[in-house]
Structure 1
C-alpha cells in the first residue's frame, strides 16, 4: 500500500547542489511526507471516537477515509497535468497550506457532511504535494543521488505511518479525535515553514500533456497491473480502516494497546516498503509480488483467530509488511512495460492505490453497517486479496522481462 514513488512529473534534469547541500531541503520535504503519511492512516485508529462525536455509525465515519483516498486517486493525474508549468516552490507551499487548512477544518467540523468536504480538500492538498515533493527531491539531489533523495521522501511517509499514526491514535483515544487532526495540521505547518525558509527556487520540470498521460492506458497490461494494485489496496484498507472495531471485537484491544498495534503495523510496513525493493532486485518483481499477496491473504484471514495481544502484534507486523511490499514490484513491472514514461505509469499505480483505498473503506463501512461481523469483514478482505493474486497470475510475465 506504499505511496512511494508517486512522482507524476518528470524530475528536472538539472543537477542538484554539490556536496550535501541538498540534504536539508529534502529533509524538509520529508517532513511534509510525514504529515501526509500520518493523515492517510490515522483516522483508522480513531473512527469509534469520531463516530460517537458526530453521532454517526462507524461505517459512516469510515467514509471520511474514502473521501480522502478517492479524491487523491481521481485528482492526481489531472492535477499533475494542470500544474505542470507552475513554479515548484510556490506550488508545494500552496499544497501544504491547503492541507493544513483542510485538517484544521476537519478537526472543527460539526457534522459528517462538513467533515467529508474537508477531507476532499485534504486529499487535493496531498495529491498536489506528494508527487511534486518527490520530483523536487530528485531535482535537488541530481542524477547521482536521486535514489537516496527519493528514499528520504519515502522515509517520511513510512515514518509517518510508524510514529505519526500511533501518536495521532493515542491523542484521539485519550484526548479527542479532533486533536489527532490538529496534530497532523501542526506537522504540516512545520513542513510549510521549512519549505518557505529552506527550499531553494526549483526549475519547472518538462510537462507531459494529459492526453499523453492517458494514452498509456491503451496498453492492456498496464491496466491489468494497476488493477492488481487497486485490488490489493482495497483488501488491505478494507480491514485496516476498521482496525479499531476489528481488534476491539476479536481481541478486546483498545486505547494504548491499539496504538501499539498500529505502531507494530507501521514497523512491518517499513520492512515491507524497503525490503520489497531488495527482494525485487534478487527475486524479480513477479516472485516478490506473489509472496506479498500470499502473505496478505494469510494475515487478513489470521486476524480472525488473533484473540490475544501477542497474536495481534505478530499478525499486524506481517500484515503491514505485506501491504507495503506490493507497490515497488508493481512499479518495477510498469516501468519495464513503458520505459519512456516511467513517472506517468507510476502515477497511475499511485492512483490505483488510492482508488483501492477508497473502495475498500467504502465497502467495509457498508458491510459493517449492514450487520457483517468483523471476522467476516476480515475474510472478505482476504477474498479480495485472492482476486488480486488471480489477476496477478493472469497478467503473467512478458517474454524477456524480469
Structure 2
C-alpha cells in the first residue's frame, strides 16, 4: 500500500512498488522514449485508481448506517467489505492471465463501466444478498482495472518517466484513502449510505469518460501463461511472504472495518469526529506508503517490516485505551502508517526471489493483501455479531498481527553479499 517501479528486465537495485502493480505486464517492453503527452492520460487513470481506493475503504465509515438501513447487524454489514476484497484477491491473478491478449483501452473501459454499475447497484440494493452480489462485481471491476491501469501508465510514460507515472497511479489510490474515504463517509452519514456509494460511482464515471476521450491506443503486453505464474509458489519463501502479508493485512483490517464501532464504544466518537479519524488514518498511510520505500533502501526489507509490524501491533493495542479525540488521532495516524508500510518492503524481497517475474510475485502479494482484508473483515464481523466488545476486537487484531510477526520471524534472511 508505494513508490516508483524501476525497469524490471533486470533484477532492480532499488524496488519500490505498490500493491496495485500486479500481474498485468508491467515488466513488458516499453517504448524507447517517454511520450511528452503522457501526463494527461495517466492523470485520468489515476482518477480511476482514486475511485478504487475510496471504494476499498469507504464502507468502514458507514457500516452502522448500512446495518440500520437494511435492518441487519453491523457484523453482517461488514461482510460487504469481505465480498469486495475476496473477489479482488481471488480473481486478480486469473483475470490478468485471461485478459492478457485483449486490447488495453477497451479492457480499461469495460473494467470502469463494471465498477460504476456495481456501485450504483450497491446503492440501489434493497437487501443484503443483492448488496453482497454487487460488491463482488465491484471487486471484479477493481481487480480488472487497477493492474491494467498501472501497466498502461508504465507503457505511456516509457522508461524515462515510468517511476513518476506509476507513482501517480499509487497517488490516486492513496488520495482516495486520505480524502475520498472521509468525504464518502461524511456523505454517507449526513445524507445516506446509498449517497456515499453514488459518490464513488460518480468519480468512477468521470474516470470512465476520461479514459474514453483521452487515453490513446496501447500495445498489448507479452502474455505470461497461468502455469508459469503459479510456478513461483513452489518456492516456500514466496508462500511464507504472501502468508505474512495476508495475516498482517487481516489483523489491520479486522479493526479498521469496524472503526465506527470501536471508536464509538471506546472514545464516543461519531459523525465528523469519525471522519477526522479516518482522515488521520489515511494521512498516516501516505507517510507509510512512501516512507517505507526510503526505509527499505536504508535498513533493508526485513528490518523495515519488523518496524512496521511492531508498530501495527502497538497501535492496535493502544486503541483499547484511547478515550478522547487527540490520542485517537495520533494512534490512527501511526496505525495507518504501519498498515500501509508493509507492502513495499514485502514486494522488495519477493522480487529479489523472482527477479525475472516481478509482476507475478507482486500480484500474489496484492492478492494476499486483499484476501487478508476479506478474512479480517469476515472474522471481525463474526466476532461483533457474537457480542465481542470493541476492546476485545482490537486485541483480536493484535493476535492476528502477532501471528504475522511470527511468520515474518521464521522467514530465512538472505545471506549477506561477500
Unmatched tracts of structure 2, length 5 or more? 3-17
Tell me how far 1:148 sits from its aligned partner: 1.1
Give 1:8's aligned residue: 23
Residue of 69, 81, 91 corresponding to 2:107? 91
Give 1:236's aligned residue: 252
1:382/1:16 Cα in 2 relative to 1: closer, same or farther (>3 Å)?
Answer: farther
Give 1:70's aligned residue: 86
Give 1:34's aligned residue: 50
- In structure 1, what is the Cα distance between the partners aligned to 2:50 and 2:266? 31
SS of residue paired to 1:21:
coil
Give 1:284's aligned residue: 300
Tell me how far 1:20 sits from its aligned partner: 3.3
Residue of 322, 327, 343 corresponding to 1:327? 343
| TM, length-normalised to structure 2 | 0.95
Residue of 238, 250, 259 corresponding to 2:275? 259
Give 1:318's aligned residue: 334
1:72/1:156 Cα in 2 relative to 1: closer, same or farther (>3 Å)?
Answer: same
**Counterpart mapping for 1:210-225 below 5 A:** 210-225=226-241
Cα RMSD (Å):
1.2
Q: Deviations over 1:205-248 (max 9, x none)?
A: 01001010001001100000000100000000000000000000
Tell me how far 1:14 sits from its aligned partner: 3.0
Give 1:397's aligned residue: 413
Give 1:55's aligned residue: 71
| TM, length-normalised to structure 1 | 0.98
Tell me how far 1:15 sits from its aligned partner: 1.3
SS of residue paired to 2:50:
helix
1:124/1:401 Cα in 2 relative to 1: closer, same or farther (>3 Å)?
Answer: farther
In the comparison of the two structures, how many residue pairs are matched?
Answer: 402
Q: Deviations over 1:272-328 (max 9, x none)?
A: 000001110111101110000000000000000000010110000000000000000
Give 2:398's aligned residue: 382
Runs of 4+ in 1 over 6 A off after TM superposition: none
Asked if residue 24 in structure 1 is aligned to residue 40 in structure 2, the reply is yes
1:5/1:282 Cα in 2 relative to 1: closer, same or farther (>3 Å)?
Answer: farther
Q: Deviations over 1:64-92 (max 9, x none)?
A: 00000000000000000000000000000
Whether the 8 Å contact between 1:336 and 1:401 is mirrored in structure 2 is no
Give 2:382's aligned residue: 366
Whether the 8 Å contact between 1:99 and 1:188 is mirrored in structure 2 is yes
- In structure 2, what is the Cα distance between the partners aligned to 1:167 and 1:140? 31
Give 1:153's aligned residue: 169
- In structure 2, what is the Cα distance between the partners aligned to 1:301 and 1:149? 37
- In structure 2, what is the Cα distance between the partners aligned to 1:294 and 1:396? 19
Tell me how far 1:16 sits from its aligned partner: 6.9
Tell me how far 1:7 sits from its aligned partner: 2.4
Asked if residue 131 in structure 1 is aligned to residue 147 in structure 2, the reply is yes
1:181/1:335 Cα in 2 relative to 1: closer, same or farther (>3 Å)?
Answer: same
- In structure 1, what is the Cα distance between the partners aligned to 2:386 and 2:374? 18
Tell me how far 1:58 sits from its aligned partner: 0.2
SS of residue paired to 1:84:
coil
- In structure 2, what is the Cα distance between the partners aligned to 1:23 and 1:4? 22
**Counterpart mapping for 1:197-212 below 5 A:** 197-212=213-228
Residue of 168, 171, 188 corresponding to 2:204? 188
SS of residue paired to 2:262:
helix
- In structure 1, what is the Cα distance between the partners aligned to 2:394 and 2:343? 21
**Range moving further from structure 2, 244-253 or 138-147:** 138-147
